[in-house]
Amino acid sequence: MAQVVVETQDLTKTYDGFTAVDCLSMRIEEGEIFGFLGPNGAGKTTTLLMLLGLTEPSGGAAHVCGINPTREPLKVKRIVGYLPERVGFYEDLTARQNLRYTAELNSLPRAEAEEKAASLLATVGLSEVADHEVNTFSRGMKQRLGIADIWIKDPKLAFLDEPTTGIDPQGTEDILNLIAGMARRKITIIFCSHLLPQVQKVCGRVGILAKGRLVAEGSIGHLGGQTAAGGRYRIEVEVARSSPGLISSLKRLKGVQDVQSAGGSLHIACDKDLRGEISRAIVGNDSQLLGIKIEEYNLEKIYKKYAREA
C-alpha cells in the first residue's frame, strides 16, 4: 500500500470568527499529483500554510510524512518544496546564484550543488540566462526558476500554489510538463489552482474546495460519476458482435481500465485516446466496428456545480 504523506483531520482555520478552512479531512499518497481546486478565497493557500507550519490551525490536525507541522515546522520545511503564489528571489543575484544559495541553505555539498544547479537550469530551460540577474526575468522565467529552486533540495513533496497564474499558454505547458517531470522523480505534488483544465491535464486526483469546505474529492473519473473504474476517457463503441474474447482483449490493452458491455455497445474507460488500438482489437476478434465515440470527462460541470453550491 502506498504511504500516506499528507493527512488532515477536521483541519480548521478561523480568522476573527471567519472560517477560511472548515473541517478539512483528506489524505494524499506518495507519488500522487493532487489537484487542489477551488475558486478565489476557497482556502487553498491557507491550507498549504497550515501544512507548512506557517500558520497555526484553529482546530483539527495535520500531518506531513507523519510530522506535525505546527510542532516541528523545520522538519516539514526540510522535506517540502514550496512554490508560493508570489515567488520571491534575490532579484540582484543571477538564477544560478539563487539556486546555489538555496542549495547551501539545504546543506548540499558545493560540487553537487553546482552540478545540480546547472542540470536543473537546463531542465527548466534557463541555461542560457543562468548568469543573468533575476530582475531581468519575465514572470514565466521566474516561475520556472521557482520550480528549479524547490527541485534542487530533492523534496519529498512539492506544494505549488497557482504556479501558472499570469503565464502564457506555452509557458503554462512548460510548467505542466515540469510538474509531470517532478512526479516521475517520485515527488508528491499538491497543485493548487482555480483553473480546472490545467489540473485535469496533470493530476490523477483532485479535491474541490469551496468556502473552506472540501466538497468533492477523488480521481477525475470517479468525480465524473460515470465509472467507478476511473480513467480519463470514456470510449463507446458499437460492434456487430461482442464476445467474451473481444472484451478480454480490450481489457488487456495498455491504458484500458474497464470494459462494460451494454446492449450492442461497449463502454471502455481508459487513460488515453485508444481509438486506434480499440478498432484494431475489434477487427482482430472477427467483429465489425459500427461506430466509435470518445468523451473526455468533463470535470468542469462538476467543478462549477460544487463551487456554486458551497
Ligand X SMILES: Nc1ncnc2c1ncn2[C@@H]1O[C@H](COP(=O)(O)OP(=O)(O)OP(=O)(O)O)[C@@H](O)[C@H]1O
State the residues that interact with ligand X by CB under 6 A.
Answer: 15, 20, 38, 40-46, 194
Contact 207, 36 (CB under 8 A): yes
81 CB-contact burial (10 Å; exposed 0-12 / middle 13-18 / buried 19+) = buried
User: Min. distance of Cβ 231 from ligand X in angstroms?
Assistant: 29
Closest approach, Cβ 111 to Mg ion, in A, equals 38
Q: How far is the CB of 76 from Mg ion (least distance, A)?
A: 19
**165 versus 257: smaller Cβ distance to Mg ion:** 165
For the chain, counts of helices (H) and of strands (E): 11, 13
Q: Does 219 bind Mg ion (CB under 5 A)?
A: no
Nearer to ligand X, 80 or 266 (CB): 80
CB of 267 to ligand X, least distance (A): 36
Closest separation in Å from C-beta 28 to Mg ion: 18
Q: Is the Cβ of residue 44 or residue 116 nearer to ligand X in the bound state?
A: 44
Closer by beta carbon to ligand X, 86 or else 184: 86
- Interactions with Mg ion, residue window 93-112 (CB under 5 A): none
Spatial contact of 49 and 55, defined as CB atoms under 8 Å apart? yes
Ranges of H-type helices in the chain: 44-51, 73-79, 95-105, 110-123, 139-151, 169-184, 196-202, 220-224, 244-252, 275-284, 299-309
By a kind-dependent CB cut-off of 5 to 8 A, residue 42 interacts, out of Mg ion, ligand X, none, with ligand X
Return the residue nearest Mg ion (CB atom): 45
Q: Quick one: what does residue 90 bind among Mg ion, ligand X, none, with the CB cut-off 5 to 8 Å set by partner type?
A: none
Task: Of 84, 88, 86, give the one whose Cα is nearest residue 135.
Answer: 88
Minimum distance of ligand X from residue 60's CB (angstroms): 15
C-beta of 45 vs 102, nearer to Mg ion: 45
Q: What's the min distance (Å) between Cβ of 61 and ligand X?
A: 18
Cβ proximity of 267 and 245 under 8 Å: no
Task: Write out the DSSP string of 296-309.
Answer: E--HHHHHHHHHHH
3 state DSSP class of 209? strand
Closer CB to ligand X, 52 or 99, in the complex: 52
Considering the complex, state which of residue 113 and residue 199 has its C-beta at the smaller distance from ligand X: 199
Could you tell me how far CA 186 lies from the centroid of its own chain? Answer: 13
Q: What does 116 interact with, of Mg ion, ligand X, none (CB < 5 to 8 A by kind)?
A: none
Q: Contact, 226 vs 218, CB < 8 A?
A: no
Tell me which DSSP letter residue 195 carries.
-
Q: Which does 227 bind (CB under 5 to 8 A by kind): ligand X, Mg ion, none?
A: none
Query: Binding pattern to Mg ion, positions 16-55, x when CB under 5 A?
Result: ----------------------------xx----------
Q: Are 282 and 290 in contact (CB under 8 A)?
A: no
Rg (CA), the chain: 22
Interface residue list for Mg ion (CB under 5 A): 44-45
